[in-house]
A and B are shown apart, each in its own frame.
Chain A
Amino acid sequence: AEKVIQVWSTASRQEGEELTLDCSYETSQVLYHLFWYKHLLSGEMVFLIRQTSSSTAKERSGRYSVVFQKSLKSISLIISALQPDDSGKYFCALWERGNSGTYQRFGTGTKLQVVP
């Protein structure tokens, strides 16, 4: 069974709007990290933002922020004031401290198109 689930495979928004991308995950570990990455049209994969399971802080980085609902095992990425350059594929990833704690597991990604 997949550990990281991104239900929406595609999304489309107008420039200037706000978007929420959802991700759910499965883990039995106490300590884990959640990441959001963006796969650019150029092929590059870049890190956006990270949430640690033990943190209650609302993580934010520029126009990116997250909503972390630990009890629901859900993390959403919010992108405000969308721009055409935000188009790309967004991946959620989970790292768990445990037996296989040397790598991150990824979801299938959500492809976003921002229309001018």
Chain B
Amino acid sequence: DPKIIQKPKYLVAVTGSEKILICEQYLGHNAMYWYRQSAKKPLEFMFSYSYQKLMDNQTASSRFQPQSSKKNHLDLQITALKPDDSATYFCASSLPGHSGNTLYFGEGSRLIVV
């Protein structure tokens, strides 16, 4: 059974709309992350959370808002979607992030904005 669940797996959205990507982890980790992978680019770090608090934010746009309603949840709300937001979004978790622990990833949510 997958230990990190991401929903939906695939998503097509219209430009200007808003979507939420869901992530739940069942590894007992306290640190959670969002990464984005666009074509021919490195896996790009977006946010890190530890104990439901934001630790790092490397996303320039405020259209991306992480939401942590529970310790093992880190959802990603994206507003005013643009075609450039098309990418696969990976959620990950680890033991405390400040120690450089191994990341465990979900299978990704592939978003296409038309």
For residue B25, give the distance in angstroms from its CB to the closest CB of chain A.
14
| Most chain A beta-carbon contacts within 10 A, residue among B42, B55, B90, B108 | B42
Is B12's beta carbon under 8 Å from chain A? no
B104→A102 contact, CB < 8 A: no
> Measuring CB to CB, which residues of chain B are less than 8 angstroms from any residue of chain A?
9, 31, 33, 35, 40-45, 48, 50, 55-56, 58, 88, 90, 92, 97-98, 100, 102-105, 107-108
**Chain A neighbourhood of B9, CB < 8 A:** 43
B45→A33 contact, CB < 8 A: no
Is A108's beta carbon under 8 Å from chain B? yes
Is A73's beta carbon under 8 Å from chain B? no
A42→B103 contact, CB < 8 A: no
For residue A45, give the distance in angstroms from its CB to the closest CB of chain B.
4
The residue on A at minimum CB distance from B110 is A43
CB within 8 Å for A45 and B50 given contacts A101-B98, A106-B43:
no
Indicate with 1 or 0, residue by residue over A96-116, a CB within 8 angstroms of chain B CB atoms.
110011111111110000000
| Most chain A beta-carbon contacts within 10 A, residue among B40, B58, B103 | B103
B40→A103 contact, CB < 8 A: no
- CB < 8 Å neighbour of B45 from A47, A50, A103: A103
Which 6 A-B pairs rank lowest in CB-CB distance, beginning with the nearest? A45-B105, A95-B100, A106-B43, A43-B107, A102-B97, A33-B100
- CB < 8 Å neighbour of B103 from A32, A47, A96: A47
B43→A47 contact, CB < 8 A: no
- CB < 8 Å neighbour of B102 from A2, A35, A42, A106: A35
Is A37's beta carbon under 8 Å from chain B? yes
- CB < 8 Å neighbour of B107 from A42, A47, A91, A95: A42
A47 to B42, CA, bound (A): 17
A4→B42 contact, CB < 8 A: yes
B50→A47 contact, CB < 8 A: no
